[in-house]
Amino acid sequence: MTQPTMRPDLAAKCLELMYVQAANAYASSIVAGGVLVTLFAGHADPRLLAGFVIAYGAMIAVRHAMGRRFAALPPESRDGGRWLARARIAITICGVLWGAFAVGLAAVADPYRLAAVVITIGALVSGAVAAYAVTPSVFLGFTVPAMLPLAGWLLLQPQPEAKLLGGLVAAWLLFMTSAALRFRRFALAALNLQFIHAETLVQLAAERDRAEALAGQLEVLSSTDPLTGLANRRALDEALDAAWATSAATRLPMALVLCDIDHFKVYNDTYGHPQGDVALRKVADVLAAQAARMGATAARFGGEEFALLMPQADAKSAWQASETLREAIAAMRLPHVGSANGILTGSFGVATLVPDRASTVTTLVERADQALYRAKRSGRNRTVEMATE
């Protein structure tokens, strides 16, 4: 991505735009760094957190001083080559600091904190499209050292989930680089035409909106279970909180259905984990289809457990949905010699609740879990309900 020769007035405008956007870029990165430092306080090495705060704070101070000096100079007295080189060096150092910090945090992160690290780095790279894309060498100077080390570290981990996430991070870097190229083409065309007609600058805003919209895709990926494609536990928790607030406001009941695949450990031991993954995906497809029909949320609760969240649903609706799911799983007729039925089946626990001051989301989850436990203890392949007024 070498910068082609361009007319001097356009090159000067690109340099000015980069310095103006840099103020927003490092302001947002300060917020992002503060969030991660707070999130990892007590979990990561204090020296790592303090080192990043000191080093990155120093670089922000340097960049702020550079920006003030640049803005104070009359446009005709600015040496474009020198000021571009200064910005490239400072921004590349910031990228290196972010990359090292992300790997250091990832090494001690649990899945939720790891998702926060990935989302933060992805968001910073997405923001760099608007801030630095007009100067490709500066854009790559930040994005490559900021994101590539995290992708490489994840790809080197033994867990398949980590490798998948590492691949997504690397793909996101390539995608954002492509977006930066597109953004740059639009930006240069708009800036060039600005000298003829100011209305062409609208293209910059449109492309920026596109880049910001793309940044949300990484967060969607972090909320999805990679094996089944259903919502993961983090996304389910968020959906539960939203449904709870709505139900509390409307005074209408909400329902939670928990499903456990019967004797799944025996199934894995008998048929192997690859076939077990196939079975989990087939069960997930059944839940996803039911959720789509009802406007519900289907999620992988953990291991061989699944959940169906039904906002504004009463006990009868939840019971019927559970029975439909149970029958659909049995109807697949997946052989299971370790089950008394000879086929793969599921046990279901149903709980309904109208939120009040004496209950919380945890109350609903615990009731559904208790109902599921009773279903398993009473013979499996059945639905047990625990409803409250």
Average confidence (pLDDT) over 167-180: 88
Q: Which helix (H) or strand (E) covers residue 310, if one does?
A: strand 305-310
Number of Cβ within a 10 Å radius of residue 80:
13
Instruction: Give the per-residue pLDDT at 217.
Output: 57
Per residue in 235-259, pLDDT tens? 999 999 999 999 999 999 999 999 9
Residue 282 Cα distances to 34, 268, 272, 286, 290, angstroms: 42, 15, 16, 7, 13
pLDDT band at residue 218, thresholds of 50, 70 and 90? low
Q: Assess whether pLDDT exceeds 60 at residue 216.
A: no
Give the pLDDT score at 260: 96
Q: Measure CA 366 to chain center.
A: 27
**Cβ neighbours of residue 159 closer than 8 Å, sequence gap 6 or more:** none
- Between 202-222 and 111-132, two packed helices, what is the crossing angle to 10 degrees? 170
Q: Name the residue with tokens 């930006």.
A: 187
pLDDT greater than 90 at residue 197:
no
Res 292 pLDDT > 50: yes
Number of H helices, E strands in the chain: 12, 5
Give me the mean pLDDT over the 191-216 stretch.
Answer: 58
Nearest to 259 by CA among 296, 288, 198, 301: 301
Q: Is 47 exposed, middle or buried (0-12, 13-18, 19+ CB in 10 A)?
A: exposed
Supply the pLDDT for residue 8: 65
- Asked if 371 contacts 258 with a C-beta cutoff of 8 angstroms, the reply is yes
Residue 383: predicted pLDDT? 96
Counting Cβ atoms within 10 Å, is residue 127 exposed (0-12), middle (13-18) or buried (19+)? buried
C-alpha count within 13 angstroms, C-beta hemisphere, residue 276: 16
Residue pLDDT, tens place only, 84-95:
888 888 889 988
- Quote the mean pLDDT of the chain: 85
Please state the rounded mean pLDDT for residues 271-292.
95
Read off the pLDDT of residues 293-332 as tens digits, 9 standing for 90 and up: 989 999 999 899 999 999 989 999 999 999 999 999 999 9
In terms of Cβ atoms closer than 10 Å to its own Cβ (0-12, 13-18, 19+), residue 220 is exposed
Residue 351, beta-bridge partner list: 256, 386
Q: Which helix (H) or strand (E) holds 300?
A: strand 297-302
Rounded average pLDDT over 336-362 = 93
Residue 264: what are its φ and ψ, rounded to 5°? -75, -30
Answer yes or no: pTM beyond 0.85. no
Residue 383: beta bridge partners?
348
3-23 per-position pLDDT tens digit: 445 566 666 766 776 777 666
Span 121-165, pLDDT tens digits:
888 888 777 777 778 888 888 889 988 999 999 999 999 988 999
From CA 261, how far away is CA 230, in angstroms rounded?
16
Looking at residue 200, what is its pLDDT? Answer: 42
The answer to whether the CB of 173 falls within 8 A of the CB of 144 is yes
The more confident residue out of 76 and 285 is 285
Instruction: Give φ, ψ of 15 to 5 degrees.
Output: -65, -45
At residue 273 the predicted structure's pLDDT band, cuts being 50, 70 and 90, is: very high
Q: Which of 304, 305, 385, 389 is catalytic?
A: 304
Identify whether the C-beta of residue 203 lies closer than 8 Å to the C-beta of residue 191. Answer: no
Contact partners, residue 28, CB within 8 Å, separation at least 6 = 124, 127
Report the range of poorest mean pLDDT among 190-199, 259-268, 347-356.
190-199
Q: Is 334 in a helix, a strand, or coil?
A: coil
Q: Is 219 a catalytic residue?
A: no
